[in-house]
Structure 1
């Protein structure tokens, strides 16, 4: 973390007195009605002294108290903060030891009613409670006194006197008395009480739990701090010491917001900036942190710090009781046990005994756990008390030892923060007061920064016009958190609002382009020109390998503004696997998705810029898999070398010869299929003709003719297949022997 304790300028702090009247802002006094000792709260009462708000959505709250001897310190937190407090609470005692921290249990209603014979719902009405307490002995008061055990409470509807038919509902209670069953109407009894005091106490506890559950907004933690056990002291007591208690809880995200004032000539017009005279091309930057106090208590004169970073923040329900789900096993009954069959044993040899884990082999001789445990805290030798705030957090000693540790060691040290480099702190130099629920604006930066006006062209934002932008450079030693920036253009008479911009995190020494408006005076046209270039072609083993470079050129034509020169930055999109070939000079800035190409555009002039992306790749073509037409199409490509085109033309001729032979075989196959089908037809007809008839004789002659033709087709097909195989062999040999 880079420490950033920024002293706000006098101009920014002049706004503080107006806020003090309403309970906001810095204050130099202590909270009303609280005694202070050495600037810290006295009398053993914990008071909020330090607040640190993080952009991780949490806040660190630190309380202090000055105590003497053993002390019990109380701290109230909201019920919804208890989980965070249990996760993160830490206690620092300069000289004493940290004892226990106690707080009331969560006490959900189901826990409170777990051992009671009735539920929370049974307290909704007297009738429901009496039904739940069947068997309990009750006594009714009034003129008719009855004592007996509850049997039932029955609801009944009765008609009220009069002719309007109005009815009411009442409950008849049935008791088992010494005289037998007796009844009374619950609504007519003057009193009805349980005679057993234990039952009455159960009902009282249940009603108290319901009342406590209704006011569960806050919980009181009690921190037990132990006095140092100084051997030189007779009573074990010491002087005053400081105890600090801190925890992390959920808080609203604090927001950063900025104002940048820049004159037309580049000079800020609101007086001299805090860092000296402004230079040409500088702007006066004011940064503010907007934060809310929703902690549940007022902040009175606290030390306020805001942190910008991206820490890991987690939540866990530590205050909610959890019960482990245990598997239920059946009760073992002697008559139902069924031992498994013994399948024999294996005796381990010496080598296997040596391979047994040391913990298992030496378990028999290990001392009992109580003998290996560390001595109790009372038996720990007393170590000399180190200087306050000198030990790291990891060295907190057991109870009764001296272990003073810094609450914000990792935050307050600039050296440690610089090593981490993860967060940036802004510490307000004066105590701050903010009422609960209030909002505060805290200055975090006030200085002059280098600013350059540019026109940023983003095709995805506006295809025709660039965005009027500012290149803001952070020449300080502290990063600036992200936030909105409001831009003012100032002249000698007044300032004018120009627009808003979104600023991402601005590290020290880096710059950001902040776009605040559309520059309608500049027009940009784009023209895409895809192309392809063959750089190398090889032919070997029947495989044609082409080394191809795909090119995607974009021509940007920029018409300048008539009112002045423009420094245009063109964001040319990046493509995975493609490299920027043109422009080749210089090293352009690169974002995650684009190249930033600078272009100077004079007033009223039109300039062009060509950006070319290249992607080299190889095409591998197996020639034996291509038809004659496909090979001929490849041979006609003018980009191929002449010797390659000549070789492909020759291969196309050989492939054509093979195709002709294959067509001849297909024709013979088709004719053979037709002859066989015709012969089958004649054979079927022959079965239906009378033997020796003229038609029978003619059919036999046709069948003989067909058989003769089939024999000839078989000879021709064998010859055609041999010729086709010879043509294919010639093609394979030529292809294999061809190397270019």
Structure 2
């Protein structure tokens, strides 16, 4: 059966080899046929869509005839974006064949295939260690030829105390073994021409891995006749930028002119390209698809079974003496007979031992599997002006732009709504406001962020900067310092005042408020009336009282508009208050605090009455505490007197009159102490009752 199975496997392998060989011949023939019939075509860039996220979409379009190949050149760094995003369309009913490009194997994997491995930046000693057994010629300093045996490291003394480590090369020469210090070697030549060529090739591979080379990508279209084709892909590109010019005129609306700055960093010129500029931040990332990836597979070793060793067994103790006697008889009969018996015994044991089990076979898994058909649909969100959450500018005229050049393209040239203002912020300048403009985007375009150069009355007025501005929205810009206007700020703080008091469940809620006023005196030295916007910081927990409402409010600032006439001072007062609430335990209030609250006019009569009741109850508790303290003091006095009596009685004879008087007094004092302790117990009970009554009273009130 094993021979038959081996025969079937051999026959099956032969059939597979013949089938693979036939298929390979057919593939080569078909490829040769296509190569003979393929025409080279040129597809110029016809459309470019540039995004403000660092990428651009490029579309090549043109005609091909028959089986055609299109070759495009790209930088190596752009291949990953090409592999991730390329879209090919044959609009004439043809088929899209392969897209071929030069592969990029990991350089470390390529270097490891050479006889001399350069992947780990080897030293000279490491290189020589890799070519042991090879013949070389060296100058050390005389010419020496031999075969490398090995490289060793030695500790060499330098001076009296210091040592260094040196590498020594051991060679087998015609005169015998020779050891040479690598520090004395000036030249090394590999005698083996093939090994020398491999080393040079490895160095070329190492150098090519660092070069920024370009790659050709070949696109193959299969079909008949002339037909239109398109190729599109995403590629890294500089973000397009915007800059604006704003011309101010007292009699007309401001004129806004916007320019887009674009760069052609591709490998081709743009001739009559339809250019679209998109403002927005689509998610874009780079994934390394160009670098070949290899998956590490586990190494499975065949399972081996070693031959079984014969076992030895101990004898039974009860037969030990009999066996020992039999052994003595065998020794007397002769060594040869004993050896024959021993060999026979080992032979029998080997025959009785179990044999090793056969190696397990491998069951071939089934090659059939189910595949689910996935269907996805992509709904376009583009229209004439909006692309999802983005906005685009379509350049009306085709663009011509040579490679490695930049251009400025007009995107906005329209009047916008705007009014001049002076913007004062104390943090920017304490004395003068900034000349500015309240700019409204009255165009239908989304204005991207960028610098604005302002011209006023036919002259340069200053520079400003604007953030993204949607159609119909307003934004302030400032471009110069308004030296004709001065602002003088001053701050007044009011002392903290009591607002209200609430007493609930033993807690006194005291509400106070802080007030502050900031005045701005504005002086206009110009010839015309101005609107000055005073910016005031928004601070948490402070409420605006005056003015009732700001002219406008941002997340961090109030803005108050003030009309400043020439030669007249205008004043703005910003009045704010902050309310604070403090919680106090009513049981811990002292008399001074209570007196302050009793004298306050904002405290209600009910709260004052409750505070007075709390004070009265606390006074009762204090009297009970003092009473108990007095009783404790009396006990301490009697105890000290008894100690004095004990000391005197120790020195008197027991039959003396004074000793008997001490006994009588000591007895009276003990009776007094017993009476005082009873009074102390009663005083403690009274104090406890008074404290409990106060706690119950506090928990039962809720007034304000």
Q: Find the aligned partners of 1:698 and 1:682 in 2 and give their Cα distance.
A: 14
The answer as to whether partners of 2:116 and 2:198 remain within 8 angstroms in 1 is no
Is the counterpart of residue 286 in structure 1 residue 282 in structure 2? no
Pick the aligned partner of 2:242 from 250, 256, 265.
Answer: 256
1:525 pairs with one of 489, 506, 513: 489
**1:54 matched residue in structure 2:** 51
Q: How far apart, CA to CA, are the structure 2 residues paired with 1:202 and 1:257?
A: 57
Larger radius of gyration: 2
Alpha-carbon offset, residue 468 of structure 1:
1.5
Asked if the contact 1:70/1:224 (under 8 Å) is kept, the reply is no
Deviation at residue 453 of structure 1 after TM alignment: 0.6
1:576 match: secondary structure? coil
* CA–CA separation in structure 2 for the residues paired with 1:665 and 1:329: 92
Query: What is the CA–CA distance in structure 2 between the aligned matches of 1:326 and 1:700, rounded to whole Å?
Result: 107
Structure with bigger helix share is 2
Answer yes or no: is the 8 Å Cα contact 2:99–2:220 preserved in 1: no
- Residue 387 of structure 1 corresponds to none
Match of 1:174 in 2: 171
After superposition, what is the alpha-carbon deviation per residue over 1:19-55, rounded to whole angstroms, capped at 9, x for unaligned?
A: xxxxxxxxxxxxxxxxxxxxxxx95234334333322
Distance 1:190 1:114 in 2: 23
Which residue of structure 2 lines up, in the alignment, with residue 247 of structure 1?
A: 234
Could you say what secondary structure the match of 1:471 adopts?
strand
Where do 1:324-473 residues align within 5 Å? 370-372=369-371, 394=378, 413-414=383-384, 417=387, 420-425=388-393, 427=395, 429-436=397-404, 438-473=405-440
Question: What are the superposed Cα offsets for residues 601-621 of structure 1, whole Å, 9 maximum, x if unpaired?
Answer: 222223333444566776655
- Hey, what does 1:85 align to over in structure 2? 82
Give the Cα separation in 2 of the matches to 1:180 and 1:739.
113
In the alignment, is the contact (CA less than 8 A) between 1:171 and 1:187 conserved in 2?
no
CA–CA separation in structure 2 for the residues paired with 1:443 and 1:509: 21
The answer to whether the 8 A contact 2:63-2:226 is kept is no
1:597 aligns with 560
Of the two structures, which has the highest relative contact order with CA contacts closer than 8 Å and spacing of 6 or more? Answer: 1
Aligned residues of 1:72 and 1:222 also touching (Cα < 8 A) = no
Alignment check: 8 A CA contact 1:457 1:568 kept? yes
Query: Partner residue of 2:536?
Result: 572
SS at match of 1:206: helix
Distance 1:692 1:312, change over 3 A: farther
Match of 1:225 in 2: 220
CA contact (8 A) 1:466 1:524 kept: no
Pair 260,691 (structure 1): closer, same or farther in 2 beyond 3 Å: farther
Question: 1:678-734 CA deviation, whole Å, 9 max, x = no partner?
Answer: 589769968996876999999989977875664454234223323323433443454
Residue 119 of structure 1 deviates from its aligned partner by 1.6
1:658 matched residue in structure 2 = 621
- Aligned pair count reads 586
Instruction: Mark the CA change 1:191 to 1:612 in structure 2 (over 3 Å): closer, same or farther.
Output: closer
Does residue 638 of structure 1 match 2:610? no
Any idea what SS the aligned residue of 1:501 has? Answer: strand
TM-score by length of 2: 0.68
Shift of 1:443: 2.3
CA distance in 1, matches of 2:627, 2:302: 87
Instruction: Tell me the distance in 2 between the aligned counterparts of 1:321 and 1:205.
Output: 21
2:114 — aligned with what? 116
Say which SS state the counterpart of residue 120 (structure 1) adopts.
coil
CA distance in 1, matches of 2:301, 2:591: 80
Equivalent runs, 1:435-584 vs 2, <5 Å? 435-436=403-404, 438-490=405-457, 495-520=458-483, 521-529=485-493, 538-545=502-509, 553-577=517-541, 580-584=544-548
CA distance in 1 between partners of 2:187 and 2:489 (Å): 95
SS of 1:498 mapped into structure 2: strand
Deviation at 1:591, TM superposition (A): 1.1
Counterpart of 2:461 in 1: which secondary structure?
A: strand
- 3-state SS of 2:566 partner: coil
What is the CA-CA distance between 1:661 and the residue it aligns to?
A: 2.7
CA contact (8 A) 2:268 2:402 kept: no
Give the drift of 1:99.
4.0
Aligned to 2:205: 209
Does residue 45 of the first structure (1) align with residue 42 of the second (2)? yes
For the Cα contact (< 8 Å) 2:168–2:179, is it kept in 1? no
Question: TM-score, normalised on structure 1?
Answer: 0.65
Q: Is the 8 A contact 1:258 1:286 kept in 2?
A: yes
Give the superposition deviation at 1:467.
Answer: 1.9
Contact kept in structure 1, 2:256 and 2:415, CA below 8 Å: yes
Q: 1:648 to 1:205 in 2, by over 3 A?
A: same
How far did residue 588 of structure 1 move? 3.6
RMSD: 4.9
Q: Which runs of 5+ in 2 are unaligned?
A: 1-38, 139-143, 155-165, 307-365
Stretches of structure 1 lacking an aligned partner (at least 5 in a row) = 1-41, 141-145, 157-168, 228-235, 268-278, 336-366, 381-391, 396-408
Alpha-carbon shift at residue 482 of structure 1 (Å): 0.9
Separation in 2 of the partners of 1:124 and 1:309?
49
Q: Spell out the pairing of 1:173-192 with structure 2 (5 A cutoff).
A: 174-175=171-172
